[in-house]
């Protein structure tokens, strides 16, 4: 916690100092008041989340939203000022930025956030056509829809959820998969907005299946989150599998960070233990929130792994980091006999802003290739 506070405070001081230097002629006599304002803005994300947990009222939502937006403001203001300082250093310009530069940074942040807001609301359907080399009696193919990282209750409200349900039903899927982070930690908001009622309007003939992500474990809420998702008509798989219509398997893993984020610190099982007793002659679809340690899925002869978590960075250029952390952070990967599809997510964490990736519903058209033989 101390390293985080140190870094977070230092970033605010750096950005605050640069804006102070730029606007010095305008605020020179109100420096103390200026730094008080910077401190309050720095605290706003934490105060807003606390207020939303302990208080109710029409004003709480906008206050919490402002705190989330401030995270995006400080992120891009920090990047832009670092860029300005680098240019000043290379070109040997004066260290103190001018008023014009300060205004330019503010305008650039505003444009970036406006684009991010628009992009986050622009839902797109990504379609993959894949083949699994296993014959399935009575089933030539399967149309599946996968969504991840909805963050329902805080970042994504009922209006967007209703839009998502309508878009999914329009695709007429046989089955729907939720690849974790369905609820944004605060289960009470999910229940208060009656989101289970909307999720029950999904109409896949083979049902809907979900796993827990890291956010369902926040505040030790995984049991309550599972209960509410089950009430939504979704089968939640936590280190267990189910055989669907006696034709293929769906395996659901607990999130790998759950043991660190939940108070009970329940470790997730080894994949080999979870899959004990599976008939490998049938197709195996694995839901694992994070696309990490793909060698485990490959070693256990999984045919298709569906994941999320990465958001493709959500804020540009964070995708450069997620692309290094994960073997695949967005898209489709074939790794020998294993296929992996990673979604950049339907919702957002924190502010409803996306400058990397987009709001995504994934349609997967699966053909069981062995049926042609």
pLDDT tens track for 352-365? 899 999 999 999 99
Confidence of residue 240 (pLDDT cuts 50, 70, 90): very high
pLDDT at 53: 64
Last residue of a domain, one of 97, 119, 141: 119
Q: What is the CATH number of the domain that holds 184?
A: 3.60.21
Last residue of a domain, one of 74, 103, 119: 119
- 116-144: average pLDDT: 95
Same domain for 102 and 227, yes or no, is no
Alpha carbon distance 236, 285 (integer Å): 14
Inform me whether the pLDDT recorded for 208 exceeds 50: yes
Same domain for 197 and 322, yes or no, is yes
pLDDT at 60: 55
Kindly report the number of other CB atoms within 10 A of residue 124's CB atom.
Answer: 11
Same domain for 195 and 328, yes or no, is yes
Query: Residue 41 sits in which domain range?
Result: 2-119
Q: What is the DSSP string of 68-102?
A: HHHHHHHHHHHHHHHHHHHHHHHHT--SSPPHHHH
Same domain for 273 and 139, yes or no, is yes
CA angle 346, 69, 78 (to 5 degrees): 110
- Domains held by the chain: number: 2
Alpha carbon distance 329, 289 (integer Å): 12
pLDDT at 331: 97
pLDDT at 373: 44
DSSP secondary structure code for residue 277 in this structure: T
Last residue of a domain, one of 58, 92, 119: 119
Confidence of residue 261 (pLDDT cuts 50, 70, 90): low
- 11-16: average pLDDT: 95
Structure-block tokens of residue 166: 């309508």
Q: Is the pTM of this model over 0.85?
A: yes
Same domain for 48 and 76, yes or no, is yes
Same domain for 209 and 356, yes or no, is yes
Top-confidence residue, 101 or 53: 101
């Amino acid at each position: 916690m101390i390293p985080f506070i140190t870094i977070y405070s230092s970033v605010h001081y750096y950005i605050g100092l640069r804006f102070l230097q730029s606007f010095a002629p305008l605020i020179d006599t109100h420096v103390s008041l200026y730094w008080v304002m910077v401190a309050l803005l720095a605290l706003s994300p934490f105060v807003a989340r606390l207020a939303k947990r302990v208080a109710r009222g029409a004003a709480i939502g906008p206050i919490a939203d402002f705190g989330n937006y401030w995270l995006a403001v400080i992120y891009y203001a920090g990047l832009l000022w670092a860029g300005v300082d680098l240019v000043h250093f290379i070109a040997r310009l004066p260290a103190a930025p001018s008023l014009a530069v300060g205004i330019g940074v503010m305008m650039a942040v505003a444009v970036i956030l406006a684009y991010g807001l628009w992009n986050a609301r622009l839902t797109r359907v990504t379609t993959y056509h894949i083949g699994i080399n296993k014959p399935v009696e009575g089933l030539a193919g399967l149309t599946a829809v996968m969504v991840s990282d909805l963050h329902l209750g805080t970042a994504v409200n009922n209006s967007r959820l209703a839009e998502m349900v309508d878009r999914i039903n329009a695709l007429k899927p046989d089955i729907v998969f939720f690849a974790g982070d369905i609820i944004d930690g605060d289960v009470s908001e999910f229940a208060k907005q009656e989101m289970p009622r909307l999720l029950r309007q999904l109409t896949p003939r083979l049902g809907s299946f979900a796993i827990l992500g890291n956010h369902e474990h926040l505040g030790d809420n995984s049991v309550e989150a599972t209960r509410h998702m089950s009430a939504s008509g979704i089968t939640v798989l936590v280190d267990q599998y189910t055989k669907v219509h006696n034709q293929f398997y769906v395996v659901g893993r607990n999130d790998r960070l759950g043991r660190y984020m939940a108070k009970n610190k329940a470790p997730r099982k080894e994949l080999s233990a979870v899959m004990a007793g599976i008939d490998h002659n049938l197709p195996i679809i694995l839901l694992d929130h994070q696309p990490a340690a793909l060698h485990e899925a490959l070693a256990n002869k999984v045919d298709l792994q569906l994941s999320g978590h990465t958001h493709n960075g959500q804020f540009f250029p964070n995708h450069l980091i997620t692309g290094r952390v994960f073997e695949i952070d967005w898209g489709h990967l074939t790794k020998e006999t294993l296929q992996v599809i990673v979604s950049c997510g339907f919702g957002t964490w924190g502010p409803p802003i996306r400058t990397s990736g987009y709001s995504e519903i994934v349609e997967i058209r699966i053909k069981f290739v062995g049926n042609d033989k």
